[in-house]
Amino acid sequence: MLSSRPNKSDVLKLKVKAPDFSLVATDGNTIDLAALLADGAVLLLFVEEDCPTSRMTLARLQTIADGLRAAGTSIVAIHQNDRVTTERTMRRAKAEFTALVEGEPYAVSSAFDVATVPTAYWIDDSGVVERAVEGWSTDDFNEIAQAAARAAGVKAVALADEPPRMKPGCASKSALDPSLWASPPPATDFDLMEDLFERGWTDGLPVTAPTRERVDAMLDGRDPSLSLGPVPPGMGELTLERLASCAVLAGCHPSYFPVVRAGAEAVLNPSFNLHGMTNTTHTSGIVLWVNGPVRARIGMNSGINCMGGWNRANATIGRAVRLMSGLTGMGKPPKLDRSTMGQPGKISFCFAENEEASPWEPYSVTRGFSADVSTVTAYVGDSPFTVSDHYSQRVEDVVTTIGLAGAAVFSPTVFPIAAETVFVLCQEHARMFADAGWSKAEVAQRIFDIASVRVGDITAGERSPFMAFMGEDDIATKWSSPEQIHVLVAGGPAGRFSEILPPWVGFGLGSEITTQVVVEA
């Protein structure tokens, strides 16, 4: 809305006071001209999505936006479109400056005497219009940049010298008969899937649109405003509504949401260190596994191919928690996710323990929970390291194979890594150990003993900093204690393939495995 409306014929004249106004920005905040001028001069740009010159102008001015800001001038675009269209136009132009939304009857455009879009006004911090540009002109916008730089005493920025240097604009909606812009025909080029990609709401794979109906179904009556706290490293607040939106995006069924919530709470535990995991150059990511009755209730896979996709619950629960960290926590590459290589598990890595096939108590029971309590455990892990031993007949030989493989995780020359490490044993290996009378703790102890080296035998490659304080004949173990080795059972009934999930090795800045109860009510 306008607080004043001078004669339209006066506005295009320079050295006049610009009319004040109040419009809603794409972030939902209401902004007036006085508030914009409180931060310095403003280059006010009127645009419209259907105008190619407008779209080009948004993209080109973005290239000098930082330089103009350094010279005391911020760019603000007023769009003659609805909010959704405005957001899409800014995304497609990769324009990151403030965007305001002006709807019918386009009173602000009319007050500024905008006959053509784009039209730009350079307004000084006192509210006086110093320069105006109609359509696109490289020279005119460069002159504004130079004038701003001179006033601020800084070096001027310049637009790229590329064609077209001049381009006429399109008719402003404020200059048209209302019958021409009322109830416009629907756009024919809108593609919802492409729009979600443009918004940055995907992990590179297609997602499900988080409509109001789908998010409400995911929440199933839960308080959408309930906060689970900030999500590192960007520290966006995670409400249940935001988490439900991530679950919808990931493709979750509403019955999965209690598990998604427990997974989110597990990784938000400070001991998990989501901030460090996201920022590290290591390739590690979020690994989740589920125990308890909820596994069967939502159809999770703990058997054949349990880590390999083709199960909706496994695939989408892990993906929902990863989308939460990437979208609400802003942990996306290349900014706050700094992983050198990454790995497929950073998209989704979630499976269920095969409690029915395990000869031991479930992992959750080892952690102190009752067998009838469902839990989600979160771990910072690397891509699986497969260990094959199909032919050994002695149980001591099988554990030697697995222990030697464990000695190679992170680096075969770094001892100790001093980080919790997960061993997911296949059914056949687990049964051999159990038939020999070994508990999970004894398996861990034997792996710990095998995965050790004489310091003097490490003659090449990098060494752990701990080895600098050891003698050549000292024995270096891979872990600080057997308690850092976590054992669980998963996978199909045939095939002697076990998996080691290598850890994030932070040497004092790592992560602790965290377990969270699933609350299904």
The model's pLDDT over 139-167, given as tens digits with 9 standing for 90+, comes to 999 999 999 999 999 999 999 999 999 99
Specify the domain boundaries for CATH 3.30.1330 within the chain. Answer: 383-503
pLDDT in tens, 69-80: 999 999 999 999
What number of CA atoms fall less than 13 Å from residue 75's CA on the CB side? 27
Q: What is the pLDDT of residue 135?
A: 95
- Residue 296 reports pLDDT greater than 90: yes
Q: What is the pLDDT of residue 180?
A: 56
Specify the domain boundaries for CATH 3.40.30.10 within the chain. Answer: 8-181
Q: Which helix (H) or strand (E) holds 166?
A: strand 166-167
Choose among 49, 50, 119: nearest CA to 91: 49
The confidence band for 10, taking pLDDT boundaries of 50, 70 and 90, is very low
Locate 365 and state its tokens: 């029971």
* 3-state SS, one letter per residue, for 338-357: CCCCCCHHHCCCEEECCCCC
- Residue 499 reports pLDDT greater than 70: yes
The confidence band for 448, taking pLDDT boundaries of 50, 70 and 90, is very high
Choose among 24, 3, 20: nearest CA to 11: 20
Least confident stretch, 20-29, 294-303, 426-435: 20-29
pLDDT in tens, 449-467: 999 999 888 888 888 878 8
CATH classification of 8-181, choosing from 3.20.20.80, 3.40.30.10, 3.40.710.10, 3.10.310.40? 3.40.30.10
Give me the torsion for CA of 225, 231, 235, 240, rounded to 10°: -10
DSSP 75-141: EEEEESS-HHHHHHHHHHHT--SEEEE--TT-HHHHHTT--EESEEEEE-TTSBEEEEEESEEHHHH
CATH code of domain 383-503: 3.30.1330
